[in-house]
Chains A and B, each alone.
Chain A
Amino acid sequence: MGRIKKKGEAGNAKNYITRTQAVKKLQISLPDFRKLCIWKGIFPREPRNRKKASKSSTASTTFYYAKDIQFLLHEPLLQKFREQKALEKKISKALGRGDVGDASRLERNAARPEKTGKPRYTLDHVIRDRYPTFVDAVRDLDDCLSMLFLFANLPSTSTVPAKMIARCERLCLEFEHYLIVSQSLRKSFLSIKGIYYQANIQGEDVLWLVPYKFNQRVVGDVDFRIMGTFVEFYMTLLGFVNFRLYTSVGLKYPPKFDQNKDNEAAELGAFKIEGNHAATASIEPAQLTSSDSVAQPDPKTQAEVNKLIRQMKDTAVEGDKAEADPETEESVNAIDKFEPAVPGGDVLPQPSYSGSEPGSLFANCTFYLSRETPRQSLEFILRAFGCKRIGWDSVLGEGAYTTNELDPSITHHIVDRPVIQAATEEEEGGEDNQTSQKLGPNQRIPGRIYVQPQWVWDSINDEELKRPDEYAPGAQLPPHLSPFVQNTQGAYDPTLPLKDQETEGEALEDSDEEEVEEEEDDSLAVKKPRATADGMDVDASDDDEDDADDGSFGGFSEDEKSAGENDEEPDSESEELRNQQELEAELSGKPVKQTKVDSRSQKLEAKKKLAQKAKEEAEEIERAKGMLSKKKRKLFEQMQYTNNKKSAEDQKLRAKRRKLEKQKARAKA
């Protein structure tokens, strides 16, 4: 006989520990415990059996895994927390004695991260511990980036020190620089919440959200201490990640930071990226020569472009980037495409692009951003997709390729103004205008493409330059679609035409509605009496159906009978309808619409068939459900519930779209 097992010595009772117990065991305060949990990634658990886990009370408490707390016990940070606590005690003691000098001396020793943004401790080991490999860290970068980008855009308050914000901003910009250099930004999306970006870093997709550049409103009770703890951790994390990323592409980290330029809102331009080796000289935009052929405007501007390029080559205006020449590198590093030589072999999946294609989407373009466009995001995206020459209005900050709106090298002009009228009759006068710096509000320079900002986003998401005429200033923009949605089978997809995704029943209903509408249009005068007759018919048939349903529980034979009834009814109905129409036709003196009646009956037939099929399927499912165990049946019902909900949503969307399309068609007609 085995030893008698005592209660509460194994299993749930032993594996879980409440928060109060954990805090007591670690001998730290609750805020410190919170910090520790945030940094070490310890989270509460839901014990399998709450009652067994909480020994006595049934009050709802938070449970932690006991081994997690055991793990926290060995944390070196714990000692730091205790030291800090002792120091605080000393300070308060000195103040109590009235020993101000002593207190101030102690105070000087105290680390006040919430004030200075600089703790005495480092979180390096925590990061190493949480993310044993670099890929692990990249995988968990989503929240980190979203948080830091938010903090980079926050105003400094007593709880959010300015230094912390500055550091966040720097880290974010450094990260953006990496994305630009490595060309690993993949997608971006303008949402109502902010701008989503997706990058592919070492095979991991990282998705983060950047708020629009507005002052952030803080609603509700937001505890910035908690956020600050997260940010502290994330700052350290992103610092190391940046270092690793920079070194992986052969750059020096940290990049040189020009405080003056930053003060003039240069943002990305405030950094000077350097290679790890001194030999890599700064290079200028490599695709300049190729841009000539693409720009293709009149020879006059062409000549000016060339001249400007020469100038640029001399002065090396913004050849700060020290990345290796992408074209030469590509030829070596690019993945070769394997084509099957002989048919019959298996096809192996290969990465779709080798890194060069999306990265050089805008390589041949010169952009000019007008005042009202969001410069930061546009600059980042354009640079990340290969654009080297981005000019903007000087009010948008330092670091532009040109602040001259009339620069002839500009190929694309991004505007977000209502309408810009082409200065047609002033073509000649336009030349004169070049002496002045600014154009009039509604004037346009020939030889360049004017687009709205959404053009940039749609272009990069589709990996091709979209047609600019759809995105012309003042034009009705096409819908901006999220590139992150993966279309599943059967779900509604707004990119496809409606006809392709309708279910059979919907299609039938749709055409039915159409016809009803048509008929309404045709015969408004006789509509009323017919409608009443219809209503009666419908009622009658409903009753019949009910009867049939009641009877169908009895057995097969009755079911068959009811089916027969169903068969008959539509026929009679359609006949009645036909009669009605004939009568109408007689009254109005028109020929009978034979074809319509035929199509109508066909449709009715189809509809009937569909209903029959659906009914059969439902019966089949019901029968099979009967054979399931109770547990499985519940699971099945749950799944069906969610699926139905989803399909109902899709159906709603389709219905809305159908309505809209019809409205549009009517408006056209």
Chain B
Amino acid sequence: MGSAKPSLKRKASNIEANAAAAAKPSSPAQDSDVDDSGDENFDGLLDGVLDDDEDSEDNASEFDQSAEEYGSEDDIASEDIPTDDEDKLALTNGIHEDEDDRPNYQIEKDANGGIRYVYDEIDPVYDSDDSDAQGPVNTIGNIPLSFYDSYPHIGYDINGKKILRPATGDALDSLLDSIELPEGWTGLTDPETGKPLNLSRDELELLRRVQMKEVPEEGYDMYPDTVEWYTSQVEQFPLSAAPEPKRRFVPSKHEAKRVMKLVKAIREGRILPYKPPEEREKEQEEEEEVHYDLWADETPRPPNVMHIPAPKLAPPGYDLSYNPPPEYLPTNAEKKAWEETDPEEREKTYLPQKYDSLRRTPAYDQFVKERFERCLDLYLAPRVRKNRLNIDPTSLLPKLPRPEELRPFPTVASIEFTGHEGRVRSVAIDPSGQWLASSGDDGTVRVYGLSDGKQQWQAKLSSEDPIDVVRWRPGQDALILSAAVGEDIYLMIPSIMNPELEQASRAVLDAGFGYASNAKQQTTATGARKDPPAKWARPGSRLEDEGVLLKATVRSPIKTINWHRRGDFFCTVSPTGQRSAVAIHTLSKHLTQIPFRKLPGGAPQTASFHPSRPLFFVATQRTIRCYDLQRQELVKTVQPGCRWISSFDIHPSGDHLIAGSYDRRLLWHDLEMSIRPYKTLRFHEQAIRSVKFHPGSYPLFADCSDDGTLQIFHSKVVNDLMEGPTITPVKMLSGHRVVSKLGVTDIAWHPHHPWIASASADGTCRLWT
């Protein structure tokens, strides 16, 4: 199409050129220029205005314009645009025929005279089918045309020739132009050529279509029927002629594996068939209501030792009632006090309230909080097992004997026994309770009537040595007094009693004389003649007249004498005696034995027999050792814990022991319980000299001290193993003078009465009743 059009236009221009010949003088300037373009291949129809054939459209349009101009000049009134069109159509048709008919060669004669076809030179017109040649003819580039305003040309063509400015009509022309608008007039100037830019009908149509947003090309079908190049129809011929492989017909192992996995999961219940969520929820609910007897096979199990069950909340009391008795309601002051205290410090978390009917009772606003706190307590509070003693507190108190019950005990000094010169060292009351014997530094033993305080008898045993100890022989059958002076033990029968008793006493003392000689013979059998432990003899006629009937001499000075309860044995202790410090004497045989070859624990201080059992106690400086006499072995060692034991005594029941010490302690021992003291009493300011239990039925014991006082204690001993003895101090007896730091030296209980006798360094004895 593109190729046909320019050619068509060219022809038209050719034709119009003829018509324009008349108008030629109107543009002389153009004519002169046209002359230059002389090389015309065409038939010479073209005049000078047509400078170049190649500039197809511009020239053509120019021609058109000019033609039209002339045309319009010719028939302004009559001629119309359609008629002009018809003319053109007719013209173009004519040209077509013209071109087809005319041969494009000339027949000439060649040198041989033959016919020679000389073809026209082929004009390789650019506009034929070369689109590149359509480019702008004017080569000035993209610069404003106004630069050439001062020049007659408006640019250069491809060959460097000037393109002349098209002739512009004069004012009249432009006026005419403005009056009569030619077809395709736009009022614009073509920037390349400088001529007015006119648009053709087709172009206008094109513009209109674009403006109206129609398809620019007429007759273009936007929606043609689809051509099914690829159809769903099965092709008749397979792409590959290979036979179907076997695997297409064999079930896949891999798939089977995966299926089996799913099957397994379904069977195990891991995959459940899909259900909408609501349905699933409902199902779950039903599922959860599983009820069975949890304790079907219950077996009681003992609770864990460490488990502490949570304590239950206390049941509500009267004051929690919605309608409590009026006395439980708080007064205004109480209410105020409650409100003012910090909520954490309140004893009760609520205030008692009274509502006169149930409908007025409101909700308890602390309910959730209290429950929550209970929850916290249950899992957060450390539980401790506390032993609450749900007992009457008074049951804790020891059952103290009432002061009235403690009576009687000695309270006042009733009788004073005088006569001794210098200190009295020892005092003793005879088993019948009638006589009191004392001995002192003056070397005399005196016997007083206990009831009247008169001296009944006395014997001077020694002129220089003091008499350290005087003791009555136990037993009512005879009345024998024993005293120790230095190494000598004297046994006396004071002439104060009735003759029968005196006779019996003498018999007791004389019974051993035969045995003594026998014993001597036995001891000499060892060969070397050895000193006997003691020599038993008559003390001499002077003393015998006084009533001192027997004398036994041991190796070292004796400090204490203690009789066995039956009155046949007595033991003596001489602290300096070393190996033979402790001696046991048999009165009926006039025999002396030394039971211990060696005694550990320092020098022995005192010794005593157990009141009922065959046990023998020896006190060394710090310990009291208990020996079984029958089996001849150590039973136990009591450790009072004091520095230096002065004396000790055994409770008549035999289970308890008191020890006094020079370091001012009085120690009570429960022999069954411990070797350590049960009670340590420290009430004295000076050393304790002597301690004594009451031998009779009174639960009393006493001690005496160098501070000149006696202390009387009440001791209740019960047979209950769980309850220890109760010791109550009851009385402090003072009255003795302290002479050269020595106070009361010895005490002796009355066998039947709660009376006590004391010997003092001030030379007197006193009876306290």
Contact = CB atoms under 8 A, between A and B. Distances in A.
Contacts of A108: 277
Contacts of B292: 243
A373 B358 CA distance: 8
A477 B324 contact: no
Given A480-B323, A656-B327, A134 B298 contact: yes
A37 B284 contact: no
B306 A211 contact: no
B323 A65 contact: no
Nearest to B352: A192
B318 interface: yes
Nearest to B355: A192
A482 B318 contact: yes
B316 A482 contact: yes
A636 B391 CA distance: 10
Interface string A79-92: 00000000000000
Contact of A624 (B327, B370, B397): B397
Nearest to B728: A627
Given A244-B293, A254-B289, A43 B378 contact: yes
A31 interface: no
- Range, interface on chain B: 35 or more
A636 B371 contact: no
- Range, interface on chain A: 35 or more
A190 B318 CA distance: 10
Contact of B396 (A247, A374, A632): A632
Nearest to A626: B400
Contacts of A218: 368-369
A191 interface: yes
A12 interface: no
B96 interface: no
The binding surface of chain B is classed by DSSP as loop
B366 A219 contact: yes
A215 B363 contact: yes
A653 B289 contact: no
Given A44-B380, A416-B358, A453-B358, A194 B364 contact: yes
B298 A118 contact: no
Contacts of A222: 368-369, 372
A227 B371 contact: yes
A254 B291 CA distance: 8
B321 A482 contact: yes
B342 to A, nearest CB: 15
Interface in A619-651: 621, 623-625, 627-628, 632, 635-636, 639-640, 643
A43 B350 contact: no
Given A191-B322, A216-B363, A452 B294 contact: no
Contact of A137 (B295, B315, B325, B362): B295
Interface string A217-260: 11110110011001000000001100110010000011000000
A244 B326 contact: no
Interface string B316-335: 11101111111110010000
Interface stretch (A142-150, A421-429, A515-523): A142-150
A624 B315 contact: no
A217 B365 contact: yes
> In the complex, which of the residues A38, A42, A639 has the most CB atoms of chain B within 10 Å of its own CB atom?
A639
B327 A660 contact: yes
B348 to A, nearest CB: 11
Given A219-B365, A227-B371, A254-B291, A624 B400 contact: yes
A62 B382 contact: yes
A653 B378 CA distance: 33
A150 B299 contact: no
B22 interface: no
A128 B277 CA distance: 33
Contacts of B370: 193
B171 interface: no
A621 B285 CA distance: 69
B267 interface: no
Nearest to A247: B293
A196 B365 contact: no
A133 B295 contact: yes
A623 B367 contact: no
Contacts of A43: 308, 310, 378-383
Interface string A452-479: 1110000000000000000000001101
Interface in B341-362: 350, 352-353, 355-359, 361-362
Contacts of B355: 192
B288 interface: yes
A38 B294 contact: no
A67 B305 CA distance: 12
A474 to B, nearest CB: 9
Contact of A189 (B313, B316, B364, B379): B316
Contact of B382 (A46, A479, A624): A46
A216 B389 CA distance: 40
11 contacts: A38-B379, A146-B371, A192-B321, A193-B370, A222-B368, A226-B375, A226-B376, A230-B378, A243-B294, A244-B294, A485-B317
Interface of B: 277, 284-285, 288-289, 291-295, 298-301, 306, 308-310, 312-313, 315-318, 320-328, 331, 350, 352-353, 355-359, 361-372, 374-376, 378-384, 389, 393-394, 396-398, 400, 726, 728
Given A43-B383, A219-B368, A452-B358, 18 more contacts: A44-B382, A62-B382, A134-B295, A142-B313, A189-B316, A192-B320, A193-B370, A215-B363, A218-B368, A222-B369, A416-B357, A453-B358, A477-B356, A481-B325, A621-B394, A628-B396, A636-B397, A639-B389
Instruction: Rank and list the top 5 A-B pairs by shortest CB-CB distance, nearest first.
Output: A214-B363, A484-B315, A639-B393, A624-B397, A656-B327
